[in-house]
Structure 1
């Protein structure tokens, strides 16, 4: 007895044989479905493999130790910490008291009988074959079993002597050194031999050198201090192993001594949030992503997946239709031998099932192989090693089932169409009379209107961006449903076209069953490109309007703030040599304390200076109160708004730009004014007369002077700051000149000459250089300068003002190319179907005397017509989501602006500018280049003479 199982088994066998006979068409559909499966499966494998288990994460963090102890730098007061040891805060609240600071002896918190291994690190400039390279120097006995897992030895061996080190493979690659080479540090002549190379599994791109404890950092610090430079900051922690490990209760007990702990036992079995005291404090809760955010992400993901499946179905559907059309005689024989319509549908659907299964298997297997082969490349890109190659069978099965579902969905419409043909029409090749559905366009129009309304509601009323995406997707589906009717409207333009395009357009309209899916596929591809292009072009216009130049156009500036500007002369010489310099202005900064002190302090022997702002010139919203607290709370929102919009003290009188130094005070000459475009003769004369030129009104005292305080006792200054009183120090008052008008100074607030600074008893050190250029340096000149600066080893802050540069140009070009390829592919499928359908028409043309080139010309126009209709409809459909997102952004920004103005926190008098810009160049390229390219490609691959066909038996 025959059952549905036997009929489907036969249908699958027929579909498999048909797919094998038509290898070209089958390979095309298989590739379209398998490529997304390949990408998603590879992404799943990569994500799961890079997602470390708690045990793997602990091994890379603390090796084989039971815990890592670290000083919390709060003077030993009790602390609360989170289970991972990343966050901690003192137990006591210090609202009106000085915040605790200072080191504590961590070793006193380590239980007796424990095995302890020190782990310390600091930065140093190490010598390389190219010059100097800022490198992390770590002192950890890596050969000790406690440290196993933190570092992976790649070549050589671990250091065994104090003059031996090993280096990361990335450092060796960057420095040009190798195992067996020697290195040293700047200001430190002791040589070290590299005996091995290693890597940090969680940070493959780290430049690090490892030495034995006490072998490098201590003598290096002494050598640096001897050279008159501040010693580098050293980070110290302790790897501890103890029988029984460290439970959460033990960690909390150790926290009472001001020590933070990373415990293996706690990381592997973390406590509940209710057992973590830190999470009970205000502002320290363990915040999780809200359900609403998760739902929004899932909705967005579902929308993207749905549109991707729709795109594949629209592209693959015509291909299945081609197969059904070419096999219509075979399907007719099935009907002639007693097969029902359900059997014909089953045969065509089985084609989608066979292709879907083949695509699922192919995509999954290729994903496994490619991920394994590309594992080193993926790890290098992510900067970390995989844990274990993690294969989740259920996830891969779900992705594979998506391919099967896509294949079935793509074959539904061709299956229904093939089953509706009569046996006589299938055997004779007659098409019969087919009418388009009158209901589908109405459903599409309703979906279009509803989707547009949802997107409009999401962009103008609601704050949910997901509504904009969902509404846009629904509207696009509506346009897809209306495509057959829209194709019919396009057909009315054929009366004004020449013969070949008129025949192609009429053929497309007459066979809407194959034309509409191809047009819809092109529509979907172009709509996505237009949406992203419009959004990015609008963002570019907004960024261009909001862009504020850091320097005048074509001006370059370079600063070196460390080691007392030791490398500044070399930086100046390199810029002079590599750039087309017009005017060069050397600048210095005021230095208090040792010559090598950085401007940010950090060393007790280093001081700092302050440019004193008179009390009367301070903005009331930011002026400190004698008893502490927030001064802005004294004012009502209306008073705050009035202050920030009308009071000059609360406006930013100095223009924005590069950070220069404390108070924006720079030591230089009139060349700097020339480079910055300040051409006021009175300003130049005042600078030459020994006055400080000020661009900030708030810095100038009532007697037209500027007061500079030199602070040498940092501890006393910090204490005075905590007590809200002036810091002790020597004050120098110098005559000042306030630059009239609103002169843009690019961050420079005050300028004085070296002679003025010397006369005032202020010490200066080199800081950097400003240069104006004859023309913008080209790429080769910039690369040469970068190479010269890299050899110095100093942190050089370099900026060249090029004006606004659009970083999204290559993205827009890539999107246009992608849309063009998809469009040409979809149109090519439609052309193949058209050729399968139009054999009789082409033979008729040949019989009436049409030249052979008509076949090639007609194929080209058929492909071009499909591409043109899809591009036009897709361009219109793609504008909706982009406009909706921009309207949503405009609404949110205006709401924030109005709220800030109402509360008195905004100094801007104009609302935010959120333009909507249509990328006409991209649209023109799609509308012209894509259809033209599709037509030319189709014409080139089509034979001008068709093969003689045997007359079909009737």
Structure 2
């Protein structure tokens, strides 16, 4: 009996879906959209995650194993290639103790010879060695990875994909990745120069680009490939590997791997990966390298919440459509009841509609998801940074996704099915709707859930720092707000008395028909809540990063500094280039003081076999509190917690490195330069002009306000942990000083040229400060970097661009998604309202309403639904956002508090950063309802066909 009931119900549902094509297509589209996304995500994830065999092909090509040179010392590894050095005294495989005898090699042949004792006899070997260098570009220089190997060897097939030209066949040739060509502005056939860091670009190795390729495992890699031993012979970088293909019938097993470990090689072997060693076969150090694959509870919780909200949102949107469908089919359902059908049959007919439309949505979503991945595959690969593996379709997973579509359709039809079954046959046949009061229990349940969920989310974040509690609380609060939505819609309806006629009609119609209005508002609420939550977290995180960002210079200011005061001629050359590139920038020259006469001399380096170094002298400020950090001395044990914190903030514990350059401890500048450095205190400028020294910390001044400067005329042999010299200076000078207060980092000491000369100090050119109207472009930065490299890497150039706001694109995407979902949900509700109220609209037209009223009424209905949903969603989205921010703050406090209480740190208490996304609020609360209103107004027909009278 049940089977025949469902067969009849499915036949009726199928015919009804074909008869009402527009309404059916709307429901199918709503259900199919998440199914399409889930299908696309599943297919992209499975195909984008390469299999173990595909990963091996990209790592090893067609070889059986890679022997990676680590060091001459024995190593211990596991079967996956994770390794560590053996501890001193550990025994090797042969029972002998590991030794520290150094083994070195320079050429590829020497490395192959070094590995020969552990390679299977008759193996095919391809050498591969890499280093990170710099290469010239059309704009300047760029960082690259240079690989020496035979890239066209059959054994390397799969590691690279040749796109244009060929691989190098002779010295002086190179093939480069597509990513490098895109960044450098070069093309196949052009020439470039490769040089080590700090070497002049024009003195590097010239290469001609003969081919273009990509690395399937790293599409965005800036890599160049050359023949072995053609570039890296002079490099001290000793990291290399051998790709080994063993003779047929020979496996590189675990015993061969352990033997290679004794010679300093780490081996990644296909045979070992297929048959990994037991834990008992691993060295103790290697057992510690086995990482367990735990499950991140927070990730699982967020995933469950996301899926739950998606299903909820679709049910909320599809539910009113089924309700309207049931209302439009009331006469048909009444006839079924009049001919002996009971409530069970009526429920089955409505539920069958959900099954039929859910099944159609499953097919549409599955096909659409596959097509979407096919169309977006290149873009997805670009985002992943690697090529997809083989297409992998898992029927069980796709079947589960299809079943989810049917389940969503079924759930969306449940409430309309029960409501339809409760209607009397007479009311269904006559078209009378009757009057139903809203539930009094539902608002109480919703309010309780809202309070409980909000409390759980906030307290879970503040007290427990538990993201699972925050996620659970956010879901409970949002479900509570959804349950409150009908009552809130009714409360909005009470505002209608103060609105104009058309707006009053729209709001009262929405409040009167809460069965279709509340779900649409709740669906908008769910979409907007997610957007507001993420936007709040991103904006708050941006505020925290902005507060934590430490600018090194005022915004739009650049500095050219020298690491070696003996390169004055190079400073002038670099200055001319920078001045030319930064057209119109205001320049302020910098200098460092030296012990007179400031001459550079050669000194022998201790224990260096007679090698010498040039030293021009140095002027070092000495803290008046002592040279050693009090917190780490024997006397430090007697310090109170407060004294220890204060000591940790002083120069003996922190040191001063302006622009990461130790030669800038004492800097000589004109008083006018202070403004360019961000110092706006007029008293500081006056003090500098009067010959006083400006110091960055009060610990540099003694009780009389004097600063002590140590003059070193020979290389400094000993420093403390803060890089303050412990060696005695040749002599000392004292100068009156004044503490300089600034929000920006400053050199330890600033002197005027007159004060330095009055102390008998010589001056050495150290660079220039530039004040610009805007930050330098990328081309300018590359050109300046190229000049720095040409001059030998003893100079640095830094431009302060200020804190760069991030997440702006993410916020834009969130706003766009919220806009689409909100307009879609509001449009759906408006369309259902029009379909449900055709008789009312016809009556309005009959009593003299203008044709334009239909459009105006539809636009206002859509806009009001969008506004109500956005307003409630904005409030709802703050709950998880605040909970997550409180969680992060609690975690920071848990780390900071014990260290602060013990006096181990002097950093201030972490602040709680919560910033509201006002721009997002404006877009959602103002722009979205306006757009929804305009679209509904423009897309609605003015003319209303008169309907026949019921009965």
**Shorter chain as normaliser: what TM range?**
0.7 to 0.9
Q: Equivalent residue for 2:357? A: 355
Q: Secondary structure at the match of 1:374?
A: helix
CA change 1:653–1:205 in 2 (3 A) is: closer
Tell whether the 8 Å contact from 2:503 to 2:860 is kept in structure 1 after alignment.
yes
Structure 2 matches for 1:789-808, cutoff 5 A?
Answer: 789=784, 794=789, 799-808=798-807
Q: Secondary structure at the match of 2:660?
A: coil
Between the aligned partners of 2:796 and 2:350, the Cα distance in structure 1 is 66
- Provide the aligned length of Structure 1 versus Structure 2: 902
Between the aligned partners of 2:665 and 2:66, the Cα distance in structure 1 is 42
Tell whether the 8 Å contact from 2:893 to 2:909 is kept in structure 1 after alignment.
yes
CA change 1:648–1:567 in 2 (3 A) is: closer
Tell whether the 8 Å contact from 2:144 to 2:224 is kept in structure 1 after alignment.
yes
Q: Equivalent residue for 1:901? A: 900
Deviations 1:858-900, CA, capped at 9 Å, x for gaps: 3233223323332333233222222222333333333333212
Tell whether the 8 Å contact from 2:694 to 2:739 is kept in structure 1 after alignment.
no
User: Paired residue for 2:437, among 420, 435, 438?
Assistant: 435
1:348 deviates by 2.4
Q: Equivalent residue for 1:627? A: none
1:935 deviates by 2.9
Q: Equivalent residue for 1:598? A: none
User: Paired residue for 2:129, among 120, 140, 165?
Assistant: 120
Q: Note if 1:52 corresponds to 2:56.
A: no
Q: Secondary structure at the match of 1:704?
A: strand
Q: Equivalent residue for 2:485? A: 483
Question: TM-score when scaled to structure 2?
Answer: 0.83
Q: Note if 1:200 corresponds to 2:227.
A: no
Q: Equivalent residue for 1:329? A: 331
Structure 2 matches for 1:454-853, cutoff 5 A?
Answer: 454-557=456-559, 569=573, 573-574=577-578, 576-578=580-582, 580-585=584-589, 616-622=626-632, 635=637, 639-645=640-646, 649=650, 658-661=659-662, 664=665, 673-678=674-679, 695=696, 704-706=708-710, 708=712, 735=733, 737=735, 739-744=737-742, 746-749=745-748, 769-773=768-772, 775-777=773-775, 782=777, 785-786=780-781, 788-789=783-784, 794=789, 799-853=798-852
Which stretch of structure 1 is more off in the superposition, 9-18 or 397-406? 9-18
Q: Equivalent residue for 1:24? A: 22
Q: Equivalent residue for 2:928? A: 930
Q: Equivalent residue for 1:940? A: 938
1:479 deviates by 1.6
1:664 deviates by 4.8
CA change 1:505–1:810 in 2 (3 A) is: same
Unaligned runs of 5+ in 2: 91-98, 106-110, 195-200, 603-607
CA change 1:925–1:121 in 2 (3 A) is: closer
Structure 2 matches for 1:136-151, cutoff 5 A?
Answer: 136-151=145-160
Deviations 1:455-481, CA, capped at 9 Å, x for gaps: 243133323111111111111111211
Q: Equivalent residue for 1:258? A: 264
Which stretch of structure 1 is more off in the superposition, 889-898 or 736-745? 736-745
Tell whether the 8 Å contact from 1:860 to 1:935 is kept in structure 2 after alignment.
yes
Q: Secondary structure at the match of 1:616?
A: coil
Between the aligned partners of 1:746 and 1:930, the Cα distance in structure 2 is 45
Unaligned runs of 5+ in 1: 222-230, 596-600, 624-630
1:700 deviates by 8.9
1:570 deviates by 5.2
1:581 deviates by 1.4
Tell whether the 8 Å contact from 2:533 to 2:877 is kept in structure 1 after alignment.
yes
Which stretch of structure 1 is more off in the superposition, 460-469 or 604-613? 604-613
Question: TM-score when scaled to structure 1?
Answer: 0.83
Q: Secondary structure at the match of 1:548?
A: coil
Q: Secondary structure at the match of 2:523?
A: helix
Which stretch of structure 1 is more off in the superposition, 795-804 or 916-925? 795-804
1:422 deviates by 2.5
CA change 1:728–1:578 in 2 (3 A) is: closer
Which stretch of structure 1 is more off in the superposition, 859-868 or 575-584? 575-584
Tell whether the 8 Å contact from 2:591 to 2:765 is kept in structure 1 after alignment.
no
1:88 deviates by 1.4
CA RMSD of aligned residues (A): 4.5
Q: Secondary structure at the match of 1:807?
A: coil
Between the aligned partners of 2:500 and 2:369, the Cα distance in structure 1 is 49
Tell whether the 8 Å contact from 1:653 to 1:697 is kept in structure 2 after alignment.
no
Q: Equivalent residue for 2:95? A: none
Which stretch of structure 1 is more off in the superposition, 734-743 or 834-843? 734-743
Q: Equivalent residue for 2:225? A: 210
CA change 1:727–1:558 in 2 (3 A) is: closer
Deviations 1:731-768, CA, capped at 9 Å, x for gaps: 766747575214336253356899989x99999897x6
Q: Equivalent residue for 1:403? A: 405
Q: Equivalent residue for 2:198? A: none
User: Paired residue for 2:243, among 239, 242, 253?
Assistant: 239
CA change 1:239–1:280 in 2 (3 A) is: closer
CA change 1:307–1:593 in 2 (3 A) is: farther
Q: Secondary structure at the match of 1:449?
A: helix
Tell whether the 8 Å contact from 1:692 to 1:737 is kept in structure 2 after alignment.
yes
1:193 deviates by 4.0
1:237 deviates by 2.8
Between the aligned partners of 2:309 and 2:467, the Cα distance in structure 1 is 17
Q: Equivalent residue for 2:93? A: none
1:708 deviates by 5.0
1:553 deviates by 3.4
Between the aligned partners of 1:45 and 1:360, the Cα distance in structure 2 is 15
1:582 deviates by 2.4
Q: Equivalent residue for 2:88? A: 92
